[in-house]
Amino acid sequence: MENEIPDGLIEIHDPEVDVDQIMAQIRERVHRRREEAGYPRQDLLAFGAAAYPGELEGEGVDADLYYHLRKANDLYHQVSVDPLLAPSPASRLPILGRLWRRMRQEAHNLVLYYVGRQAGRQVMVNRHLVSTLNRMAVQLQRQQEELEALRNAVGERDA
């Protein structure tokens, strides 16, 4: 059995190590110590973005959902703000061409500076949105499994 931390930073290849059980014990000890110190009980949030849950197989799994979710996870951080200056006939003028070329370059750099700042913020928003979608996909899958179990239980009871 291979246990893997969701963000992929640590892999444990020991069948006797249950990462989920260890994390549950750690969380419980933290909660107990916080209560002993007089702090109100609160759930600890996971660090970083929610990892892509991976594509699931079986009945009731929407393959399109996981395809688009995988694409969103692959692309949310890819923003390009590289300078791209088209050649200008004015830059070929003997005296003023060099000055014009320099002015155009600096104007483009100024615009790229502000666009780059905004793109960085957009990447952070994208990361949070994709993380939310990842968590929602996992929750949706759990709810589907619970719903199927309830349907089976009702079917067995009625039979």
Q: Minimal CA–CA distance to 128: which of 52, 49, 75?
A: 49
Q: Which residue has 């109100």 as its token pair? A: 40
- Please enumerate in sequence order all residues whose Cβ is within 8 A of that of 18, keeping only pairs 6 or more positions apart, or say none: 3
Backbone angles phi, psi at 153, to 5 degrees: -65, -40
Task: Determine if the pTM surpasses 0.75.
Answer: no
Note the pLDDT of residue 114. Answer: 92
Note the pLDDT of residue 41. Answer: 54
Mean pLDDT per 10-residue interval, the chain, length 159 residues: 52 74 83 78 53 71 83 86 84 86 91 91 90 89 90 86
Alpha helices in the chain (DSSP H): 19-36, 63-75, 96-158
Note the pLDDT of residue 153. Answer: 92
Q: Minimal CA–CA distance to 61: which of 150, 4, 142, 6?
A: 142
- Please enumerate in sequence order all residues whose Cβ is within 8 A of that of 28, keeping only pairs 6 or more positions apart, or say none: none
Note the pLDDT of residue 156. Answer: 87
Alpha helices in 4-86 (DSSP H): 19-36, 63-75
